[in-house]
Amino acid sequence: MNYNWNWGIFWQDNPEGTGNYLDMLLSGLKWTIVTALCAWVLALILGTIIGVLRTLPSKPANAFASAYVEFFRNIPILVQLFLWYFVLPELLPRTAGLWLKQLPNAPFWTAFIGLGFYMSARVAVQLQSGIAALPRGQSMAGKALGLTTLQTYRYVLLPMAFRIILPPLTSEFLNTIKNSSVALTIGLLELTGRARSMQEFSFQVFEAFTAATLLYLMLNAVVVLGMRLLEKRVAVPGYMTGK
Amino acid sequence: MFAGFDFDVIVRSLPYLFLEGMRFTITLTLLATFLGIVIGTVLALMRLSSVPGLSQIAAGYTNFMRSLPLVLVIFWFYFLIPYIGQWITGASRPITVGAFASALITFSLFEAAYFSEIMRAGIQSIPKGQAGAGYALGMTYRQVMQYIVLPQAFRNMLPVLLTQTIILFQDTSLVYVLSITDFLGAASKIAQRDGRLVEMYLFAAVVYFVISFLLSRLVQRLQARTAIIR
């Protein structure tokens, strides 16, 4: 390979005047983490609501939740981001649309909301199967004790279901981190986007992508280790994962 | 709110959108699925083999690919393939690879990691006694896999493989980052040329939705039909 390797490139100043190229990549990593975390919180909240709606004994609630899940699962994430970013401001009333367009940091807000909704459909499906995996007796016992439906979910079903689905939720969180890279198309300066601009400025394509790859692998490892600790702490005694 | 809509722009660009864009998307999806399943099956067999080293290589490859964002992998291969091609062919400079070939190699190798996990689960779902019976009849490893284990594993995993294909179909839209004219790329080019972003992106969303939704319904029906009653 006649490629001019130059690993010292990371310590050269970047053309944006914000320090060296390594600083540029690290600021990308920061935006990746911030976006993924915010989107994940939103996904958990919305996903819980939708997942619960799917398990309620109510036809309209089931239908709404199913439609929600199908909508967000069957459109590619990139197209969804375009819908939030380019289409939504045009469909809103004029003043609201203008406000949205002039929002500072619009790529971040779009990625946060868009990714959050996209991932929420996946969280909802996981939660639904987690609740379905619980023995029927659990919700019946809740009812027998005189708990309302809300209380049954709050105190009996959800605490169990979330602990059961913790492993798949971990991989959904990793997916959120990975999917945040799609937001480079709407101008979010996250890790992949920063590696791409470093390549465009410095022509050191393989150094830039190697560094981004290593940072993603490290981020993955941190999340996996953290979630493993959490899994151990909240394991339900008597279940396969419990020990 | 739909008053200022120009539906005509969609009608005018239909041939371009489907004959160029969608054809690229569907060809890429089908070929990448086929190659991905073939490579993925080989990876799964390596992963489950008792030959020292093979299992670790396959596991390393699968875990590595699965921890990276597809967009980053697309960039990697886009820049790397010309150099690998130069190395293989012994040319004096990096070779030029077409957009389609580049995308096809990327998606086949990337999705192979995901397909290999599915095939691994499929192979592991076959009772050990079946392979043992095959060996007892004097079959070789290759024959046991080819005639007994893999056909059943494939059948068991067909719904999951197809679901992964739907994901792959949606993922191909990410070639947008290389300005390739897939379906979304075509829609986006018209959108920017005619200043009709709202119409084109809404239309693209509807098309992706309809195709993915119908396919996932099909998978559900297939799942009910191929389920083996035990």
Q: Inform me whether the pLDDT recorded for B230 exceeds 70.
A: no
CB A65 within 8 A of CB B160: no
CB–CB contact B201 A86 (8 Å)? yes
- Residue A19 pLDDT level (bands cut at 50, 70, 90): confident
Please state the domain count of chain A: 1
Does A21 map to a domain? yes
Tokens of A113: 């909301």
Distance from CA of A155 to the nearest CA of B (A): 33
Assign B57 to helix, strand or coil. Answer: helix
Does A107 map to a domain? yes
Q: What is the pLDDT of residue A243?
A: 40
Q: Inform me whether the pLDDT recorded for A241 exceeds 60.
A: no
Distance from CA of B197 to the nearest CA of A (A): 7
Q: What is the pLDDT of residue B97?
A: 87
Which of B145-172 are b and which e, b meaning 16 or more Cβ less than 10 Å from the residue's Cβ? Answer: beebbbebbbebbbbbbbbbbbebbbbb
CB–CB contact A212 B72 (8 Å)? yes
Tokens of A164: 């059961």
Q: Inform me whether the pLDDT recorded for B179 exceeds 70.
A: yes
CB–CB contact B72 A179 (8 Å)? no
CB–CB contact B201 A213 (8 Å)? no
Q: Inform me whether the pLDDT recorded for B4 exceeds 90.
A: no
**Which fold is adopted by the domain B8-226?**
MetI-like fold (1.10.3720)
Q: What is the pLDDT of residues B76-107, one digit of tens each?
A: 999 999 999 888 888 888 888 888 999 999 99
Closest by Cα among A190, A216, A41 to A115: A41
Does A10 map to a domain? no
Q: Inform me whether the pLDDT recorded for B5 exceeds 80.
A: no
- Residue A206 pLDDT level (bands cut at 50, 70, 90): very high
| Domain layout of chain B by residue ranges | 8-226
> Of the given ranges (A145-149, A229-233, B162-166), which has the lowest mean pLDDT?
A229-233
Residues of chain A with a CB closer than 8 angstroms to some CB in chain B: 1-3, 70-71, 73-80, 82-83, 86-87, 90-91, 174, 177-182, 184-185, 192, 195-196, 199, 205-206, 209, 212-213, 216-217, 220
CB A91 within 8 A of CB B198: yes
Q: Higher-confidence residue: A15 or B138? A: B138
Does A147 map to a domain? yes
Q: What is the pLDDT of residues B20-68, one digit of tens each?
A: 999 999 999 999 999 999 999 999 999 999 898 999 999 999 999 999 9
> pTM to 2 decimals?
0.92
Q: Inform me whether the pLDDT recorded for A201 exceeds 70.
A: yes
Using CA atoms, how far apart are residues B11 and B43, in angstroms rounded to an integer?
A: 45
Instruction: Provide the number of CB pairs (under 8 Å) joining chain A to chain B.
Output: 105
Q: Inform me whether the pLDDT recorded for A242 exceeds 50.
A: no
Neighboring chain B residues of A86 at a CB cutoff of 8 Å? 197-198, 201
Tokens of B113: 């990691």
Q: What is the pLDDT of residue A3?
A: 81
Does A59 map to a domain? yes
Q: What is the pLDDT of residues A169-195, one digit of tens each?
A: 999 999 999 999 999 999 999 999 999
What's the CA dihedral at B40, B41, B43, B47 to 10 degrees?
Answer: 130
Averaged pLDDT, A29-36 = 97
Q: Which parts of B177-196 fold into alpha helices (H)?
A: 183-194
Residues 6+ apart with CB under 8 A from B24: B100, B180, B181, B182, B183, B185
Report chain A's mean pLDDT, rounded to a whole number: 93
Q: Is the ipTM of this complex over 0.85?
A: yes
Can you give the CATH number for the domain in which A74 is found?
A: 1.10.3720.10
> Of the given ranges (A34-43, A116-125, B13-22, B30-39), which has the lowest mean pLDDT?
B13-22
CB B55 within 8 A of CB B43: no
Residues 6+ apart with CB under 8 A from A222: none
**Domain around A105:** 16-234
In angstroms, the Cα distances linking B223 to A212, B41, B227 are 40, 21, 6
- Vertex B90: Cα angle to B88 and B95 (nearest 5): 75
Q: Inform me whether the pLDDT recorded for A159 exceeds 70.
A: yes
Tell me which chain A residue has its CA closest to the CA of residue B199: A87
CB B169 within 8 A of CB B25: yes
Q: Inform me whether the pLDDT recorded for B2 exceeds 90.
A: no
Report chain B's mean pLDDT, rounded to a whole number: 93
Distance from CA of B83 to the nearest CA of A (A): 6
Averaged pLDDT, A68-85 = 97
